[in-house]
Structure 1
């Protein structure tokens, strides 16, 4: 028995009301529920009623249209599957021509997803006419969207249609509107992936050549990705003949934005064009961009330094690139020096121990003394890579003194970076050399005026104990913590408790019971309430650890419970609260 007509129309009626509601949130929710409504309607009514209605509902806020474009890209199952997926093309075509860029981009993405579901006949009958309509639209918005559709479903088209589509794309690449040419340039890599080598040589490379000389630098810079995509498909000789002239012009482009894009993609580009062109042409060009007039270009080139150095001979790195880095270390732009500091250590594995000591070590030391904290931070973070090449003994003799000096840097972020690097050094130095070189410094961080440094120093202690073991902790860490517990500065006493709670899991039960627990209990009568409630929190952390051993479990009742009972009657409400939590832990 069929439902009454009113019931059949109910979902559409509700959707109409919600999509016309003044509240954007309600309209968005209605869009998000489209699949539910379609399920209620069934595929036939969804195709006949819902989809046409949605095509008429594209006069809305961009946020709602964006959601609609996204939803339609996953709507094929709601209209009856791939056989009927073409009915979604019409509303998506409308959305692909709206003014807002993000909506158009999402509509293009959904159109490409839908094209993958269509068969050859549907492509010829529905998708290709859609692309042609968008390509010949009066407004540039539709033509920009069309540029992103030519690669979709390309393998399903007949040769004659493919030829027509390539000619149509060429028209867009020469469009009078820069935004359309930019869209065409952006779409070139995808198109390169679906065309044959013959089509690349006959059709696409002339377009790339034309776009690489476009009057708009925003168009020219997008050609770089296309050059990479095509170079990967050509043999070295074809690349040299067809792409190298284009590439050379772009490396010397009048716009720094184009040169920046080349610099940023230099390693990827070099791998795509092959070793022969790298050796014959791109080494000189790389030096050129390392010495570029614009700081942004030099910065991007520095990021490519180790990657490109790995593609050329070691002699070239020594004779050419190291000389460039010596100039870049004194670059007037801080961002250049900071990027160089991040990547210069990547040359060490390429050059080896002897050349690193001779050529790179002086540069590291100079960067460690740079006036910019960002430069110093970046070189510190990369020292492990250098250590793996030259060994800890050479590192401790040359670079370690500079690291120790930076441990007292006025910039707390520099001190923090040093702390994060300490466990790595510790593994290489061993306990004896570590205590001699860095031990005092590590303990001094526990009293640093900056909380973040004290917090990091505590985590650092835990990591060091994991490296050196409980015996080292007994001899080095526990005595320092005991001294801090008796300090007149309440922040130092607080740090003591934080440190104990953090390092406790790395210590054995006997050490906790005999050396650590007495320090905590001694602070239970501290005049500062914050200290007392942190005593309760620390005891709460220690109880489960002490209970792990039969020898120390009984001390929970003998030593800890009486202290907690006393704190439970404290005048401060916070102390009583945390004490109650600790007592509950002790009873478990």
Structure 2
């Protein structure tokens, strides 16, 4: 409805004409409609002059805030910050009183709405009134005990960040911290979860001194929380929390206060907790330095790299570059690479599959030389695995590696081994050769495909196994899109025509499919 302002209501001086229908929509039962109406009202409030705000918008706000139905009162909560900064002092006092009444409303849904908007209203109110009027509201909301609904207290945690950002350090300690300490120990896990989720924002808002005295112990408590959701939320914040610590206490805090908690989380019974930790734990290496990383963190990385859950392993592998920068590739290879190789050769094919999927990421972090020395042969071995899903994944892995390291690398390292597979006695391996040529042709381009790959495919057109021959037809159809047209006509088309007369029905079918393209 805000779009109607420029051309349909005669300009900003008539914008108040839009208020009645929006007021009606802000009272309906459907939450989505109310929220959209409030969104439009907030936008339209900016188009009002200060005089029109007091003449038209504030009366609307009063009617909503005093409405009989809770729906209108919840909508009112979102409009205070939009109107407060540009009205006169007496009206501001009236708005603060109205907001206080909503914070003390008998209906939990209204208090929840007020709690959710308290933070943004705090940014609009003058500091003196923030301390005298809004902080008591915040304290009451954070201690809300009515029914079993904890959503009022939960939303008060968000307001805590906004209020702490505005107040001076002494006021934060006196007015905010008692409530924040209570929220961190709240009987509801959802409130504790919110504290954990907002922890780095709270850390930035309260400053280094309060962080040292209050937040470090609170963070330890959250990392040891009895609820897995809380531990996971806190674990996600470990890296950023440590980075934001005062440099003078950074290392000692991690080693003495947080590392014991981290060691417990590495073997936590919940996979989401372990996954959250694995996504950030590598980031501690640059903070702790080489010696501490080798002595204290590497054993934890090894444990997580062998975790039963693939996501935990992925999160460790995807952040290896952080550790590589600190301890160097040699130390990394001696410590972690054996564990990666062990997983790559695991008897469970799903474990092998997981490592294959991480290999391009790992290759990019380790570099081409190290990869060729330590992992290249492993990638080629997967191509002849007895499980089809592994061979298929290994084929796609080759494509990603070529895209990462380039066509020149492929010619020297990969293509000779793929071509050799075309002469393998096992027809499944010969078929894998064709699958590899399909993907390599897309990555290596026309010149390499015509010179090295096409002759191999053509030589397999007379294979004794029908499955191989019809895959030759499918491969020719694929690589014809890469090859020059004259090559297609001179070399590809005659082979397809020959396959079209094959004794096997499937070979003839796929050859006819290819003939329509070539």
The match for 1:243 among 176, 195, 202 is 176
- Structure 1 residue 121 corresponds to structure 2 residue 51: yes
Partner of 1:283: 216
| Deviations 1:298-338, CA, capped at 9 Å, x for gaps | 11110111111112211111122111111122222232222
Question: Who is 2:156 aligned against?
Answer: 223
Q: How does 1:58-207 map to 2 (within 5 A)?
A: 72-77=1-6, 78-207=8-137
Contact 1:500 1:516 in 2 (8 A): yes
Number of the residue aligned with 1:324: 261
- Report deviation, 1:542: 3.7
Unaligned runs of 5+ in 2: none
For the residues of structure 2 that align with 1:271 and 1:451, how far apart are their CA atoms?
52
Matching of residues 8-87 of structure 1 within 5 Å: 72-77=1-6, 78-87=8-17
Q: Given the alignment of the two structures, is residue 578 of structure 1 paired with residue 508 of structure 2, yes or no?
A: no
Give the aligned partner of residue 385 of structure 1: 322
Q: Once the 2 structures are TM-superposed, how far is the Cα of residue 289 of structure 1 from its aligned partner?
A: 0.9
Q: Report the 3-state secondary structure (helix = DSSP H, G, I; strand = E; otherwise coil) of the residue aligned with 1:473.
A: helix
The reply on whether 1:376 has 2:313 as its aligned counterpart is yes
Structure 1 unaligned regions, length at least 5: 1-71, 548-553, 583-588
Structure having greater relative contact order (Cα 8 Å, sep ≥ 6): 2
Asked whether the 8 Å contact 1:497–1:534 carries over to 2, the reply is no
CA contact (8 A) 2:53 2:87 kept: yes
Q: 1:155–1:194: 8 Å Cα contact kept in structure 2?
A: yes
- Give the equivalent residue in structure 2 for 1:396: 333
- Aligned-residue offset at 1:432: 5.6
Work out whether 1:519 is the aligned partner of 2:456: yes
- The answer for the alignment partner of 1:265 in structure 2 is 198
Counterpart check, 1:233 vs 2:162: no
When the two chains are superposed, the root-mean-square deviation of aligned CA atoms in Å is: 2.6
Moved more, 94-103 or 180-189: 94-103
Match of 1:541 among 481, 506, 513: 481
Aligned residues: 503
1:309 maps to 242
Aligned partners of 1:130 and 1:466: how far apart in 2?
61
Q: Does residue 473 in structure 1 map to residue 413 in structure 2?
A: no
1:232 Cα deviation after fit: 1.3
**Are the equivalent residues in 2 in contact too, given 1:533–1:574 (CA < 8 A)?**
yes
CA change 1:155–1:448 in 2 (3 A) is farther
Q: Is the 8 A contact 1:569 1:576 kept in 2?
A: no
> 1:158-203 CA deviation, whole Å, 9 max, x = no partner?
1111110110010000001111000000011221221121221121
Hey, what does 1:39 align to over in structure 2? none
Distance (whole Å) between structure 1 residues aligned to residue 82 and residue 490 of structure 2: 76
CA distance in 2, matches of 1:138, 1:450: 68
CA distance in 1, matches of 2:365, 2:87: 62
In the TM superposition, residue 85 of structure 1 has moved relative to its aligned partner by: 1.8
Partner residue, 2:303: 366
Tell me which moved more, 269-278 or 400-409.
400-409
What's the TM-score once normalised by structure 1's chain length?
A: 0.79
Structure 2 counterpart of 1:444, from 381, 385, 388: 381
8 A Cα contact 2:29 2:71, kept in partner: yes
Go from structure 1 to structure 2 and tell me whether the alpha carbon gap of 1:451 and 1:212 turns closer, same or farther (over 3 Å shift).
farther
Instruction: Tell me the equivalent position of 1:496.
Output: 433
Q: How far, CA to CA, are the matches of 1:120 and 1:340 in structure 2?
A: 51
Kept in 2: contact 1:484–1:493 (CA 8 A): yes
Deviation at 1:142, TM superposition (A): 1.1
- Give the equivalent residue in structure 1 for 2:422: 485
SS at match of 2:81: coil
TM value normalised by structure 2? 0.89
Distance 2:445 2:39 in 1: 59
* Shift in Å, 1:262: 0.2
